[in-house]
Structure formats: C-alpha cells, structure tokens
Amino acid sequence: MELTVGAVVEGGTSLAYKTGSWRDQRPVLDMEECKVCGICESVCPDSAVHFFDKEYVIDYDFCKGCGLCAYECPAGAIDMIKEEK
C-alpha cells in the first residue's frame, strides 16, 4: 500500500494526541462561581473538561483554548487568560 502525505491509515481519537501546546489562551475556572450545570463539559470539542471529585477540572494537555466553555458558561465562572509560555 502506497501512502500519501496526510493520509489517515487507522482510526483513533483526539485523546491519543496531546494538543495543548496549540493554545494561546487558557480557560480558568472559578469553582466558587460555578453552578455545576455541566455545560462547559458538554460543549468542549476536545473533551478536556471533566467532573472529578465534586468539581470541574480542565485537562490542559488537550485544551486548545477555543473558549467555548467560557462563552457558554451561564454563571460566568470561566475566564480566558493569555497563555504564559
């Protein structure tokens, strides 16, 4: 089988690839403001937001900094801040 550049040769998920280094801003969650509604977790296209031990945690290894979680948060509990490299 001859492969071309960019060919997908087997299926997988984004969890196989840490993409957090693509980010230029990061979401920061204030759990005191959070209403634990789950919207941030459901809108994250990278499954980087998880409910763990009674609070939401952002896995920065996979978060690309798109800001959907902050934009959709009805409580305003997520701020996007400039990434420090």
Q: Which of 79, 73, 32 is nearest to 55 (CA)?
A: 32
- Of residues 27 and 85, more confidently modeled: 27
**Residue 5 pLDDT greater than 70, yes or no:** no
pLDDT surpassing 90 at residue 17: no
Sole residue written with tokens 């230029």: 24
Whole-model pTM? 0.78
Question: Has residue 15 got a pLDDT over 90?
Answer: no
Is the separation of the CB atoms in 63 and 50 below 8 Å? no
